[in-house]
Amino acid sequence: MDDSRSDSELVAAVRERGDQKALDALLERHLHAIWRFGIKMCRNAEDAKDVLQDTMLAAARTAREFRGDSSVSTWLYTIARSYCIKKRRRSKFAPDAHVELEDASMYGHELTASGPSPDDAASSGEIAAALERALGELDVSQREVILLRDVEGLTAPEVGAVLGLGVEAVKSRLHRARFALREKLAPLLDGSGAPEPVEGCPDMVPVFSQYLEGDIGPDECARMQRHVDACPRCRGACDALKTTLSLCRARARRGVVPPAVQDLVRKALREMTAMRG
């Protein structure tokens, strides 16, 4: 459904006039993002289908109450996360599912390094498959912060709103999650496990992660760049993390809802609308 109005304009139309077409357009716009989040969190297509449908129905029921204090995506991810939590509580086991990740740059500035380009990295089926396994192996709290920040591109404050955390807590969890994910991919990215410490070298993975979140000032950034330029080990560590994060964003928008699932969700929404009408 093609509607050029912004999210805020669609929300206003729903709240002020109960505009059903605006509501349909709003939910349709975010359908695929919620599906991606659900399937990567649940690791199971059937559960992800339920999460998507439950989220869309809950959003449709409460849309006129949405005040716009957060973005629409933050509101929908918060609802979806609550249903994911319910699924985890009901299921002792979470079967693996193949999840496709799309190439897009999410950071406007980077420490320069000489690693493989995002396109080259994303073209490797072996690394893409390893990334999916690594995401599935992360602790749930780490997986969700990676998905929201590095896959879906929410800001740290938006991630905090979804998770009920302060920004500093989000960043702390994010740095640990990025480090864990990078370590799981290290054998493929640099041909070894976790790099051995070298005297005088900082641990570049958390430093680079902090840099991406704007937690390192320009003077410190310049100092670290000089070190990276002169140190192959630290340059390799930066390259590996850059590749990991590029893979997280790579192919993300290809995670579209299967047509059959789209039809089911739309049918459920139509039936709910008819019952309420």
Which of 123, 148, 114 lies closest to 38, judged by CA? 148
* pLDDT for residue 203: 76
Domain ranges of the chain: 7-94+257-276, 118-253
- The model's pLDDT over 16-45, given as tens digits with 9 standing for 90+, comes to 999 999 999 999 999 999 999 999 999 889
Query: How does the average pLDDT of the chain come out, rounded?
Result: 82
Which tokens is 185 given?
């991919």
Return the CATH number of 118-253, one of 1.10.10.10, 3.40.50.880, 3.40.109.10, 3.40.50.300: 1.10.10.10
Which tokens is 45 given?
């297509």
CATH 1.10.1740.10 is held by the domain 7-94+257-276: yes
Q: Record the pTM.
A: 0.81
**One fold for both 7-94+257-276 and 118-253?**
no
Neighbouring residues of 247: CB distance < 8 A, sequence distance ≥ 6? 101, 118, 121, 122, 127, 128, 131, 185
* pLDDT for residue 35: 95
Span of 21-30, 54-63, 65-74, 98-107 with lowest mean pLDDT:
98-107
